[in-house]
Amino acid sequence: MILENTDLTAYKELVGKIPQLKKEIAKVIVGQESVIEEIIITLLAGGHCLLEGVPGLAKTLMVNSLSQGMDLNFKRIQFTPDLMPGDILGTEILEEDHETGKKFFQFNRGPIFANMVLADEINRTPPKTQAALLEAMQEKVVTYGGQQHPLPVPFLIIATQNPIEQSGTYPLPEAQLDRFLLYIKLGYPSEQEELNVLERTTGTYNGKPEVVFTGRDIQNLQKLTREVHIDSHLLVYINKLIRATRPGNSEVQSVIDYVEWGAGTRAGQALILCAKARALVKGRYAVTPEDIKTLAFPVLRHRLSLHFRAEAENILPDAVITKILEALPIHASK
């Protein structure tokens, strides 16, 4: 059943506008369709994502364009070693009532109070500042001076990491990585895509995304995402898949050889929600095996802790996930 007591036609119209959003983003961003799709999936599933890519691949422009297409307030925070929690969350300042002369503290909201926040190079700031951001992500409120300040709805954090120049950085611990719904990898464009970028950005072209969705539309799509159907045998499969990542009870040789700690229960929840969101993005109201196979990589790659042997043999999490999927074939029906 799709959202009781609602206009089904209106929701079908919303789903039908998702391809239009992609077209609007394509006015600014060349290629990177899978990355844009995974960010939209993160938003519809109500989570946050970690985006990894080398400098110069237009990560900020991509996120800003998405916010414009959805009429969402966008803020960018550049993380640096001297960034403090108050620089993100906000702080109290002393104010004076000009009529009474009385002084009082007023909470001055930080840049995290936006619908879509780009936390740029999150691994370049100390753990206490990282923790402040991650706590706000989880609780969706900022607590200051004993008062709670709700964050906007919808709310999406896109944190970026630079895979190079790791000296002087503060890698996120595994427990904090687990708070991100997806770990998205941004690769180099193809030769033709890169040529198109060069032509666009050095000429007179000035594309700008038109608004496709409002914040209320996104909230409705988030509700609709949870109503997407998933067969019981697919739930059983996802449960087996997550359990197969744990070396203590896995029969997959790559897991036994290279994984120190497998994924927790939160990974299964993330995979189900993201599979539902992907189905919706594709215009469907039921999850298919393809949704699960596609999203297994961004859901699991940051939730597998590999030990020294994997590093010595240059084995990455994606290679282990591939072996797990090969060992556990998935079928459309029982």
Evaluate if residue 2 carries a pLDDT over 60: no
Could you tell me the two tokens for 13? 């119209």
Evaluate if residue 155 carries a pLDDT over 80: yes
Write down the pLDDT at residue 5.
Answer: 45
Q: Is 145 left (phi over 0), alpha (psi -120 to 50) or beta?
A: left
* Mean pLDDT of all residues belonging to the chain: 86
Q: Read off the pLDDT of residues 162-172 as tens digits, 9 standing for 90 and up.
A: 776 665 567 77
Evaluate if residue 187 carries a pLDDT over 70: yes
Pick the residue with more confidence: 5 or 71?
A: 71
Counted domains in the chain:
2
**CATH code of residue 128:** 3.40.50.300
In terms of residues, how long is the chain?
A: 334
Looking at the structure, tell me whether residues 148 and 297 fall in a common domain: no
Evaluate if residue 97 carries a pLDDT over 80: no
Pick the residue with more confidence: 158 or 95?
A: 158
Write down the pLDDT at residue 332.
Answer: 58
Evaluate if residue 265 carries a pLDDT over 80: yes
Helix axes 232-243, 265-281, angle to 10 degrees: 130
Rounding to the nearest 10 degrees, give the CA dihedral for residues 46, 52, 55, 58: -30
- Number of other residues whose CB lies within 10 A of the CB of residue 126: 15
pTM recorded for the entire structure: 0.88
Candidates 120, 172, 112, 119; CA nearest to 136 is 112
Q: Read off the pLDDT of residues 293-311 as tens digits, 9 standing for 90 and up.
A: 999 999 999 999 898 888 8
Looking at the structure, tell me whether residues 152 and 6 fall in a common domain: yes
SS3 content of the chain, % helix, strand, coil (to 5): 45, 15, 40
Place of tokens 């744990």: 246
At residue 161, the 3 state secondary structure works out as: strand
**CATH code of residue 322:** 1.10.8.80
Q: Which domain holds residue 315?
A: 229-333
Write down the pLDDT at residue 168.
Answer: 56
Answer whether 168's CB lies under 8 Å from 81's CB.
yes
Evaluate if residue 45 carries a pLDDT over 80: yes
Average pLDDT over every residue of 59-73 = 87
Candidates 51, 277, 75, 308; CA nearest to 185 is 51
Strand partners, 120: 78
Answer whether 89's CB lies under 8 Å from 142's CB.
yes
| Spatial distance between the Cα atoms of 52 and 56, rounded to a whole number of angstroms | 12
Looking at the structure, tell me whether residues 43 and 157 fall in a common domain: yes
Average pLDDT over every residue of 252-277 = 92
Looking at the structure, tell me whether residues 195 and 150 fall in a common domain: yes
Write down the pLDDT at residue 61.
Answer: 85
